[in-house]
Amino acid sequence: MLYLWLKALHIVSMVCWFAGLFYLPRLFVYHAQSEDNVSKERFCVMERKLYRGIMGPAMIATLVFGIWLLSLNAGAYFTQGGWMHAKLTLVVLLIGYHHMCGAQVKRFARGENTRSHVFYRWFNEVPVLILLAIVILVVVRPF
């Protein structure tokens, strides 16, 4: 029963994390397009609160519950095929993306953004591709 509770909490925290990963780059799009100081300051506040208040805790919860799940059945996960190795590689890439978002939050706060809204529109697609790959790996287990 513990396993099922951990799995549920892992999924809920992952959904919260991805919600932030989808929304923060969208805020970057609008922030990069804004021209008045009031809008820029408002976006800085929204980005900081989303990153620190939601995304950070959700990422940590996702990792804690995921590692806990792995520890309960590590042998089976790592001997059944390469899907878990691929998933974990994507999670590491996602953590890197998360921190890139954090660095960008700081750049916007300092007024040092050099990228256009078009860049952020493409940047916003990265977590979609990673989520798609992770879900396929976990559900289909192709290898």
Give the residue ranges of the annotated binding site. 10, 87
* Torsion of Cα atoms, 56 then 58 then 60 then 62, to 10°: -150
CB 127 within 8 A of CB 94: yes
Cβ-count burial of 20 within 10 angstroms (0-12 exposed, 13-18 middle, 19+ buried)? buried
Binding region for heme: 10, 87
C-alpha 15: how far from chain center: 9
Residue 55 makes CB contacts below 8 A (sequence gap 6+) with: 17, 20, 21, 24, 98, 101
Q: Tell me the C-alpha distance between 89 and 95, whole Å.
A: 10
User: First vs last Cα of the chain: how many Å apart?
Assistant: 28
